[in-house]
Amino acid sequence: MHTYVQDVHRHVGEEVTIKGWLYNKTNKGKLRFLLVRDGTGTIQSVVFKKAVSPEAFEAADSATQESSIAVTGVVRQDDRAPGGFELDASDCRIIQLADEYPITPKEHGTAFLMENRHLWLRSSKQHAILRIRHEIIRAVRDFFDDNGFVLVDTPILTPAACEGTTTLFEIDYFGERSFLSQSGQLYNEATCMSVGKTYCFGPTFRAEKSKTRRHLMEFWMVEPEVAWAELDDVMVLAENFVSFIVQRVLERRQEELKVLERDTSGLERVIPPFPRISYAEAFDILEKHGTETPRGADFGGTDETVISSQFDRPVMVHRYPKDVKAFYMEPDPEDAELALCVDMLAPEGYGEIIGGSQRIHDHDLLLRRIKEHDLPVEAFKWYLDLRKYGSVPHGGFGMGIERVVSWICKLDHVRETIPFPRMLYRMYP
Ligand code: 4AD
Ligand code: MG
């Protein structure tokens, strides 16, 4: 009977068939130890020459790394075995004998691994990352679904820019200019006026012309938007959300975190309330550490690292100067030069994982900002309409999944957080 490795504990003493790929093999006299992985786990099968047919032994003997194989045998509990179980093989079949596998246990360079990303995904570390990414996405959906948010999908092809015009991917839309979406936010603002609390979750695109360990050209962003929400509400939502995700991963993905050798003590502290500081306070910290960034400018990656390293959990920096932020942000009633916005910076040097704000809900102010930012008013007509028909204060944020995966898994680079990264000068595979 075909059984998945994760289920063998229910079949001790029974004969099962494991279908998978050969991860590793050791030979010892008349014994072949096959380490087989099937996506749900790995198990060692012991193939004893005298216990199987000559063909089966030949198969076990000749199987190469990553050959697809089916091993039949009786499940034996063995506390010394990784995973606690072994298979005493009675049969072994090769489905496809793998060519010499390019990825071996020795260290490979990043360029080589990226070139072989389609195969690299099978290694234990990448496998653990894929599983944690999935868990994070599941937690994202559970959080919003269980808190009264309605998932409303926003378009990928859009006629207007949301996050500035410098990072747009342009598409010829039957002779008309259109762009790959940088964010679903503007559409969320329309749909939250229908359903109250909404979120969208999909791929977003930014032609980022710089190489950093935090930027991808294509990344997945989840964006909640709430009618009647002000900046404080957005911050409370953001901290509860991030805490929920981290605690969920700790609860369900201990094994994968172990594979990644992630010290989880920092993650265990990710419980609200998170510290909140203003841009001005953040800048005081930077000045003490001797930044080159002039006061009033946006933070660089190093600045974010310095700020976030002052805190033992994510920190929320609010009220940046409006000039370094997007056109749609509500001005601070106390100081119109500041925007009612918030960035959440992850600890351990990871920097911005969330960007959000309260949105301008006054029609004339929004129109003025669109013009100040040289955006085509025509393309924003529908967006301005939202301020004509029952406008209310509202706000939300966007969280990049890959940045969060990178932090939770403590990776050096965002390229390992997404199955097939799209980066500057890399589209293959
Ligand atoms: O701060 P950003 O640009 O905010 C927005 O797009 C808003 N419209 C969201 C909203 O309020 N609904 O991007 C939000 C998040 C960042 O904090 C970061 O996590 C991620 O998206 N992000 C990227 N992740 C990977 N690669 C990139 N090039 C990214 N750009 C942004
Ligand atoms: Mg941002």
Q: What is the pLDDT of residues 129-140, one digit of tens each?
A: 999 999 999 999
369-378 pLDDT, tens digit per residue, is: 999 999 999 9
**Residue 116: predicted pLDDT:** 97
Token pair listed for 85: 């179980």
Sketch out the chain's domains with CATH numbers.
Answer: 5-96 (2.40.50.140), 117-417 (3.30.930.10)
CB of 406 within 6 A of ligand 1: the answer is no
Position 83 scores a pLDDT of 85
Distance CA 355, CA 398 (A): 6
**142-172 per-position pLDDT tens digit:** 999 999 999 999 999 999 888 988 999 999 9
Nearest CA to ligand 1 atom 17: 354
How high is the pLDDT of residue 21?
A: 98
Mutate to test the pocket of ligand 1, among 188, 192, 219 (most ligand atoms within 8 A of CB): 219
Q: Are 357 and 330 in contact (CB under 8 A)?
A: yes
- Residue 347 CA to ligand 2 center (angstroms) comes to 16
Place of tokens 């964010």: 183
Tens of pLDDT, residue by residue over 5-61, are 999 999 999 999 999 999 999 999 999 999 999 999 999 999 999 999 999 999 999
Is any atom of ligand 1 closer than 6 Å to the C-beta of 185?
A: yes
What is the Å distance from ligand 1's center to 88 Cα? 51
The arithmetic mean of pLDDT across residues 250-268, rounded, is 97
The answer on pLDDT for 121 being more than 90 is: yes
Does residue 342 have its Cβ closer than 6 Å to ligand 1? no
pLDDT tens for each residue of 325-383: 999 999 999 999 999 999 999 999 999 999 999 999 999 999 999 999 999 999 999 99
Q: How confident is the model at residue 390 (pLDDT cuts 50, 70, 90)?
A: very high
Helix (H) or strand (E) holding 237: helix 231-252
Number of Cβ atoms within 10 Å of the Cβ of 50 = 6
181 dihedral zone (left: phi>0; alpha: psi -120 to 50; beta): beta
Ligand closest to the CA atom of residue 299: 2
Atom of ligand 1 nearest to the CA of 223: 12
- Residue 34 CA to ligand 1 center (angstroms) comes to 45
**Which pLDDT tens digit goes with each residue over 180-203?**
999 999 999 999 999 999 999 999
Q: Is the CB of 189 under 6 A from ligand 1?
A: no
Task: Judge whether 304 and 294 are in contact, CB under 8 Å.
Answer: no
- Measured CA to CA, the distance from residue 341 to residue 234 in angstroms comes to 9
